[in-house]
A and B are shown apart, each in its own frame.
Chain A
Amino acid sequence: MTTPQDHAYSRRLFMQQGVTLASMAATLPQFIQRSAAGMLMPEGSMLSSQAGVPEDQVLVIVQLGGGNDGLNTVVPYGSDIYYKARPAIAIGAPGSSRNNAAALSIDGADGIGLHPAMSEFKEMMDDGNAAIIQGVGYPNPNRSHFTSMDIWHTANNSGTRTNGWVGRYFDCTCKGTPDPESGVSIGRETPLAMVGDQQKPVSFENEEFFKWQGQNLNSALEDPYHRITRSGSLEPVPSNNQMDFLMRTSLDAQLSSDRIRAAVAKRPLVNYPRNRLAQQLQTVGAMIRDQMRTRVYYVSLGGFDTHAGQVGTHQNLLGQVSASLKAFHEDMKAQGNNGRVLTMVFSEFGRRVRQNGSSGTDHGTAAPMYLVGDMVRPGLHGVHPSLTDLDNGDLKFTLDFRRVYAGILEQWLKAPSKEILRGTYKPVNVLKDGLA
């Protein structure tokens, strides 16, 4: 007979030894994973309900690439300046019909509303499960997509691109035993944020392509293939650092392949909309449901670089974001995992206050961030940046993004933010009272 303590112990043991076990017994990883999963998770149980099992909080990061127009997402409809600066693209006040778009009102907010395409997000706010953090940015804003994105990913603006803030969180918590499943990103490119010195995330775009096809040709190839790809390293190491990197990634790929494909094969409990972001979140939902050890998931949606004719494009994009986040939240509720999963949404910068000559907006600075989850302290946080006190036509940030990271690290992931962010940032209170 097993007790919760046994479960916890086995789980911890497996987390520490998983990689070693699997790579030693090259032909048995699936068996090990199945039996480990069986020990840990009696049908229908939730990790969060098990005594003595810490570390089961999950963070999902949603990246909006291209620079989402914050002023047309969280709309300062109470301001005349907003309408003067953006005659062709401004969103009207609730109930108005300016530019055929009326903002959705936010409870308790004065003169600030949401883009009309964000109705699902508003519902989640009304239910007390979503928050907006206003005016987020950093000093000396950089208006290059790539540099600014790097700054958000690395959490520093010195221009070094060696590792990212989530990667450093993994490095800091893994204590020398990297677990390739700690971080999973969906998409073709590995986000720098997830890359640590020791810890690299698993990334894939489509789970179906996530295995070797050689054994289909001839099963005799399976043994030499395992020998080649799971050897970890060749002693003495034959050449350079590139080889170490390739060897490690190869091993990680083998260990993650079976696991992830098994998780994603199940049908979701709720219906997701048909768009790229929703598909990614659906995959994340499946992995969470399958009790993967993953602590941070990363998904992204691009196309927010609305330099020209932005009205329709932006509406469409925000509609996708809002509906996808809501479906994911419903999925978490249906799974009973809604208490475990916090979702954070960001973009590399906002856009300039004044519209440009092409009914679009150019690269700007501060913008809101968004949080979703049962544990989230709901509503509007922080101060909307001033529309009159501008820096060269751009908003001045009112809150450093690293304070949001610090809040998530300290309160949610229970990790030392000073060490990970390499500086002291006062954590934003992201959690409801009594949870932090």
Chain B
Amino acid sequence: MPTSSLKPLKQSEFDYWAAQHLLNRAGFGGTPDQVQAVLQMGLDGAIEYLVEYEEAVRPLPLDVDQFDSDIMRPANNMERQLGLQARRNGDERALEQLRQQRQQRQRQDRRQIAQMQRWWLKRMIETGRPLEEKMTLFWHGHFATGYRTIEDSWHMLQQNNLFRTHATGNFADLVSWIIRDPAMLEYLDNNENRKGSPNENLARELMELFCLGEGHDYTESDIKEAARSLTGYTFDDDEFVFNSNQHDDGMKRVLGKTGRFDGDDLLRIILGRTSCSEFICLKLYKFFVNDLPDGMDANTRKFIQRLAAEFRKNQYHLKPVLATLFKSEHFYDRANRSALIKSPIQLMVQTVRSLRTPSDRSMTALVGAGDLMGQNLFQPPTVKGWDGGRAWINTSTLFVRQNIVIYLLTGQGPETMAWESDNIPYDPMHLLEHLDQDGNGTDRIDAGVTYLLKFCLGTNPHPERVESLTTFVRSNGNRLGPDQAIACLCLIAAMPEYQLC
């Protein structure tokens, strides 16, 4: 059983496979060379490099100028007048024209959100700050907001950059920005939450999904009162607006406290609860350490409580907590190695980054595959985000998971899918470069196949797996050249254990 203590791993136990585990979990994996480089940094150095990335690595330019912020802007005065006039006069032709203009803008915006999906996925593949993008993805799943509901790609991008800015910053800051984020306000109808006619949607999720956990520590009455505190929190175009006319400034009673609360007071009260730190640490744990399909043992529960205590002690600053987590012996425990089911994004990005497959394959294909595997960027299924863990896996997603890796390796996609096939060659031999070049052909096949398996699976391969692949190589050229290695990788990706990291 993993220890309940937060104590760090002994430096002597930080070996090549521990370094790979760290790179997989705190980022999206790395090539054999990159794993080696992280190993050389030592445990403390490696964690500083990954967590203190603002100092360590220059960011990729955001390059947001490629996007149009105005596609879904609200109508200006003149346009509103035209619309009113047309309605008043019953001018069907003018009304029809306005409808068509709106539809055209919606189509354009849908193209832009698709462009943003490719942009973000590419960023995850290319960034030198993997934890920054991984935490951005974490927050996107946590404060889940769906494009199809809000239909404004620029608001989604604004929110995405908010997650990136605060990726490893302070959770309290991030929540206070979230209740002012146009995408969120629209998604959870808070622009409709007004004095005298409250809409509870944001208030409920703030407690249930964002801060405290479902059914924990609050009542239906707390939600109703919290909703009153959030009245008047709305937005105009791309900016937050506090509409004091629509704010209910009466007395409220939330979580045992009474006062004329607004949104900031509400957050102070919610974040003051111990359950808030525990809830966030449990989510981080499930994302980074173990998704706990069989529930928690006593040590794990204790470990998460201790992590939560650190979180409170650090006033909700994330970096110290993440560093403690990634350094802990608990994180490297056998029980937590190859124990997480990869999210679809993790599966694709880790495959590209660790095998160094061509990064210029069609991002459209990858985004589409993500959707088929249940993870469509900017479109989580519900406000609860992605369940993760075993929910990623069913008989259907398993095939897509196998096939998208074939596509990454070969550029060849199924005919029925709109994955643009290409002929960009992939050279897998760099994975085997450091292996001893001595030995006869048979030994080299065995050693090469065994290493590929271990590198891809993160554990010692089962003899049956080695046997399957060596049999294949021996009867197909009897050497481990590029073609055979690619074929082996296709087969490894079809192994159930490739779904774990």
Chain A interface (Cβ within 8 Å of chain B)? 143-147, 159, 180, 188-190, 200-206, 208-214, 216-218, 220-221, 223-225, 227-229, 231, 234, 238-243, 245-247, 249-250, 252-253, 256-257, 307-308, 356-358, 362, 392
Given contacts A146-B214, A217-B490, A239-B338, are A357 and B399 in contact (CB under 8 A)?
A: no
Cα(A188)–Cα(B414), bound, Å: 19
Given contacts A217-B412, A242-B341, are A307 and B494 in contact (CB under 8 A)?
A: no
A296 to chain B, nearest CB (A): 15
Given contacts A147-B214, A241-B294, A307-B201, are A190 and B476 in contact (CB under 8 A)?
A: no
- In the complex, the answer to whether A218 meets B487 with C-beta atoms within 8 Å is yes
Chain A residues, CB < 8 A from B464: 231, 234
- In the complex, the answer to whether A202 meets B395 with C-beta atoms within 8 Å is yes
30 contacts between A and B (CB under 8 A): A188-B374, A202-B396, A205-B372, A206-B372, A209-B399, A211-B399, A212-B399, A213-B403, A213-B406, A214-B490, A216-B414, A221-B472, A221-B487, A224-B468, A224-B471, A231-B464, A234-B462, A240-B335, A242-B390, A246-B393, A250-B496, A252-B395, A253-B395, A253-B399, A307-B192, A357-B194, A357-B196, A357-B197, A358-B192, A358-B197
B466 to chain A, nearest CB (A): 11
Question: Taking CB as reference atom, which chain B residue is nearest A234?
Answer: B462
Chain A residues, CB < 8 A from B491: 214, 221, 224-225, 228
- In the complex, the answer to whether B215 meets A159 with C-beta atoms within 8 Å is yes
Chain A residues, CB < 8 A from B465: 228, 234
- In the complex, the answer to whether B490 meets A221 with C-beta atoms within 8 Å is yes
Cα(A206)–Cα(B396), bound, Å: 8
Interface residues of B in 396-422 (CB under 8 A from A): 396-400, 402-403, 406, 410, 412-414, 416-417
- In the complex, the answer to whether A242 meets B500 with C-beta atoms within 8 Å is yes
Chain B residues, CB < 8 A from A189: 374, 381, 387, 391, 394
A258 to chain B, nearest CB (A): 12
Chain A residues, CB < 8 A from B335: 240
Cα(A357)–Cα(B393), bound, Å: 41
Chain A residues, CB < 8 A from B189: 307-308, 358
Question: Taking CB as reference atom, which chain A residue is nearest B335?
Answer: A240
9 further interface pairs, Cβ-Cβ under 8 Å (given A189-B381, A217-B412, A253-B396): A188-B374, A201-B394, A209-B417, A210-B395, A213-B414, A228-B468, A238-B462, A242-B293, A249-B398
Interface residues of B in 352-403 (CB under 8 A from A): 372-374, 381-384, 387, 390-391, 393-400, 402-403
Chain B residues, CB < 8 A from A216: 412, 414
- In the complex, the answer to whether B406 meets A256 with C-beta atoms within 8 Å is no
Select B414's contact among A145, A180, A200, A209, beta carbons within 8 Å.
Answer: A209
In the A-B complex, the 3 residue pairs with the closest CB atoms? A357-B197, A204-B396, A246-B496
- In the complex, the answer to whether A220 meets B402 with C-beta atoms within 8 Å is no
- In the complex, the answer to whether A249 meets B382 with C-beta atoms within 8 Å is no
- In the complex, the answer to whether B394 meets A249 with C-beta atoms within 8 Å is yes
- In the complex, the answer to whether A209 meets B490 with C-beta atoms within 8 Å is no
Chain B residues, CB < 8 A from A220: 472, 475-476, 487
Answer whether residue B277 sits at the interface, using C-beta atoms and an 8 A cutoff: no
Chain B residues, CB < 8 A from A308: 189, 192
B40 to chain A, nearest CB (A): 29
Provide the B474-501 mask, 1 if CB < 8 A to any CB of A, else 0: 0110000000000100110011110110
Chain B residues, CB < 8 A from A217: 406, 410, 412, 487, 490
Cα(A304)–Cα(B363), bound, Å: 32
A205 to chain B, nearest CB (A): 6
Select B398's contact among A159, A208, A214, A250, beta carbons within 8 Å.
Answer: A250
Question: Taking CB as reference atom, which chain B residue is nearest A246?
Answer: B496
Given contacts A189-B374, A190-B391, A234-B462, are A243 and B399 in contact (CB under 8 A)?
A: no
Cα(A252)–Cα(B398), bound, Å: 10
- In the complex, the answer to whether B496 meets A241 with C-beta atoms within 8 Å is no
A314 to chain B, nearest CB (A): 16
Provide the B197-221 mask, 1 if CB < 8 A to any CB of A, else 0: 1111100100010000011000010
Most chain A CB within a 10 A radius of its CB, from B293, B374, B468, B496: B496
Chain A residues, CB < 8 A from B215: 147, 159
Answer whether residue B459 sits at the interface, using C-beta atoms and an 8 A cutoff: yes
- In the complex, the answer to whether B499 meets A246 with C-beta atoms within 8 Å is yes
Question: Taking CB as reference atom, which chain B residue is nearest A245?
Answer: B390
Question: Taking CB as reference atom, which chain A residue is nearest B200?
Answer: A362
Chain A residues, CB < 8 A from B395: 180, 202-204, 210, 249, 252-253, 256-257
Chain B residues, CB < 8 A from A210: 395-396, 399
Answer whether residue B72 sits at the interface, using C-beta atoms and an 8 A cutoff: no
Chain A residues, CB < 8 A from B472: 220-221, 223-224
Cα(A1)–Cα(B316), bound, Å: 77
Chain B residues, CB < 8 A from A200: 394
Question: Taking CB as reference atom, which chain A residue is nearest B227?
Answer: A362
- In the complex, the answer to whether B496 meets A249 with C-beta atoms within 8 Å is yes
Given contacts A212-B494, A221-B491, A228-B494, are A146 and B339 in contact (CB under 8 A)?
A: no
A337 to chain B, nearest CB (A): 24
Chain A residues, CB < 8 A from B338: 239
Cα(A190)–Cα(B398), bound, Å: 12
Given contacts A144-B214, A246-B497, A356-B197, are A238 and B459 in contact (CB under 8 A)?
A: yes
Answer whether residue B469 sits at the interface, using C-beta atoms and an 8 A cutoff: yes
Cα(A189)–Cα(B393), bound, Å: 8
- In the complex, the answer to whether A146 meets B382 with C-beta atoms within 8 Å is yes
Question: Taking CB as reference atom, which chain B residue is nearest A150?
Answer: B214
Chain A residues, CB < 8 A from B374: 188-189
Chain B residues, CB < 8 A from A212: 399, 402-403, 494
Given contacts A208-B416, A242-B293, are A203 and B394 in contact (CB under 8 A)?
A: yes
Chain B residues, CB < 8 A from A245: 293, 390, 393
Most chain B CB within a 10 A radius of its CB, from A205, A224, A227, A229: A224
Chain A residues, CB < 8 A from B383: 145
Question: Taking CB as reference atom, which chain B residue is nearest A248?
Answer: B496
Provide the B409-443 mask, 1 if CB < 8 A to any CB of A, else 0: 01011101100000000000000000000000000
Chain B residues, CB < 8 A from A228: 465, 468, 491, 494-495
Cα(A238)–Cα(B399), bound, Å: 23
Chain B residues, CB < 8 A from A201: 394
Chain B residues, CB < 8 A from A242: 293, 339, 341, 390, 500
Given contacts A146-B382, A146-B384, are A225 and B390 in contact (CB under 8 A)?
A: no
Most chain A CB within a 10 A radius of its CB, from B192, B373, B387: B192
Question: Taking CB as reference atom, which chain A residue is nearest B486?
Answer: A217
Cα(A102)–Cα(B266), bound, Å: 44
Cα(A422)–Cα(B346), bound, Å: 39
Provide the B214-236 mask, 1 if CB < 8 A to any CB of A, else 0: 11000010000000000000000
Chain B residues, CB < 8 A from A209: 372, 396, 399-400, 403, 414, 416-417
Cα(A221)–Cα(B402), bound, Å: 13
Chain B residues, CB < 8 A from A214: 402, 406, 490-491, 494
Given contacts A217-B410, A240-B339, are A143 and B220 in contact (CB under 8 A)?
A: yes
Chain B residues, CB < 8 A from A223: 472
Select B397's contact among A188, A234, A240, A357, beta carbons within 8 Å.
Answer: A188
Chain A residues, CB < 8 A from B192: 307-308, 356-358
Given contacts A212-B402, A216-B412, are A203 and B494 in contact (CB under 8 A)?
A: no
Cα(A361)–Cα(B374), bound, Å: 29
B336 to chain A, nearest CB (A): 10
Cα(A307)–Cα(B202), bound, Å: 12
Chain A residues, CB < 8 A from B339: 240, 242
A394 to chain B, nearest CB (A): 10
A398 to chain B, nearest CB (A): 22
Question: Taking CB as reference atom, which chain B residue is nearest A159?
Answer: B215
- In the complex, the answer to whether B393 meets A239 with C-beta atoms within 8 Å is no
B204 to chain A, nearest CB (A): 7
A217 to chain B, nearest CB (A): 6
Chain A residues, CB < 8 A from B469: 224
- In the complex, the answer to whether B459 meets A239 with C-beta atoms within 8 Å is yes
Question: Taking CB as reference atom, which chain B residue is nearest A185?
Answer: B394
Given contacts A212-B494, A228-B491, A234-B462, are A205 and B416 in contact (CB under 8 A)?
A: no
